[in-house]
Amino acid sequence: MKDGEQVAFTLSGHSFCAEIKKAAKGTSIIGTRIHCFAEAGSTSDLARDFGRRGASEGTTVIASTQDEGRGRLGRRWISPEGGIWFSTVLRPNIGLKDASKLTLTFAVAVAEIIRRELKLKAEIRWPNDILVKGRKVGGVLGEATAGSDGRVSFVVVGVGLNANVDLTFFPTSIRGTITSFREELKRDVKIADFLVPLFQALEKYYLLFLDGGFEPVLSEWRKLAGFLGSRVKATCVAEKLVGRAVDVDVDGALLIKLEDGTEKKIFTGDLLELKPE
Ligand code: BTN
């Protein structure tokens, strides 16, 4: 969208939302319609409701806080004030089996913009964690709603970033594993200003995915995946695997070379980078 073009907003009247209004610049899909809330349960739930009611592609729900934020594998996502919590409705003409690739696509854009705008060496940990100095600063959650014939009706991609959050808000048990922009930069980041290039990058990679398929996105993803080549422990549904992270394939699955030399492909799970032996 060019400056000055019409953008539709739902504003809660909160000062956070007045700022956010400035964020939709220079995109023609992502954020062209923004629903902003001071408080939400989960922006992904709200975006899914908008999607079900026919919301246009790019419709984005953003909230200053969430009290029912969700992470991967049904985990709770703590979302206090100061963070960036938003979810976007996408309507790609793709099969359901390809929907998870959008999560990786968004992760590339997020990591790239943290690097470019904040000069922090953001990395991706499979499948969708955003790390700075080995600590989690954010994550991406993709959830597809099925259409007919194995196609998607729409996908909601949620992005959570601990931008200016106060880390003491988090339980001490996880505090050592997370970070924030504020913690790394020793200053606050202006969220509305950060969202402008972020929305533009999300759109750039989304279009790359639609036009060129997953391969070009995957090659960018690989460059940002600091863990590739490292010893890792993968916790999957039924087992724990220790080995070397070899690659991520065209389906977004992680290939691990186990200590006995065999290769294993995993589609879902958690990854922990281990110290070299
Ligand atoms: C992860 O588990 O790493 C993914 C976390 C995604 C969190 C975001 S915050 C905005 C959106 N709303 C949610 O409830 N979750 C996502």
Report how far ligand 1's centroid is from the alpha carbon of 102 (Å). 14
160 C-beta closer than 6 A to ligand 1:
yes
165 C-beta closer than 6 A to ligand 1:
no
60 C-beta closer than 6 A to ligand 1:
no
Can you tell me which residue has the tokens 């030399």?
Answer: 261
158 C-beta closer than 6 A to ligand 1:
yes
For the chain, 277 residues long, the average pLDDT of each consecutive 10-residue run is 41 74 83 92 98 97 96 94 97 96 97 98 95 97 96 98 96 95 97 95 98 96 93 90 94 93 91 84
User: Is the pTM higher than 0.75?
Assistant: yes
pLDDT at 16: 84
pLDDT at 24: 72
Report how far ligand 1's centroid is from the alpha carbon of 277 (Å). 34
pLDDT at 12: 57
Residue nearest to atom 5 of ligand 1 (CA): 71
pLDDT at 265: 93
pLDDT at 13: 56
Yes or no: say if 156 and 60 are a contact pair by the CB < 8 Å rule: no
44 C-beta closer than 6 A to ligand 1:
yes
Atom of ligand 1 nearest to the CA of 68: 14
Atom of ligand 1 nearest to the CA of 69: 14
pLDDT at 231: 95
Sheet holding 122-125, edge to edge: 8-10, 33-40, 60-66, 84-90, 152-161, 135-146, 129-132, 122-125
77 C-beta closer than 6 A to ligand 1:
yes
pLDDT at 260: 93
Report how far ligand 1's centroid is from the alpha carbon of 261 (Å). 35
Q: How far apart are the C-alpha atoms of 124 and 107, rounded to whole Å?
A: 7
pLDDT at 33: 92
131 C-beta closer than 6 A to ligand 1:
no
Q: How far apart are the C-alpha atoms of 124 and 108, rounded to whole Å?
A: 8
pLDDT at 4: 31
Q: How would you classify the pairing of strands 33-40 and 60-66? A: parallel
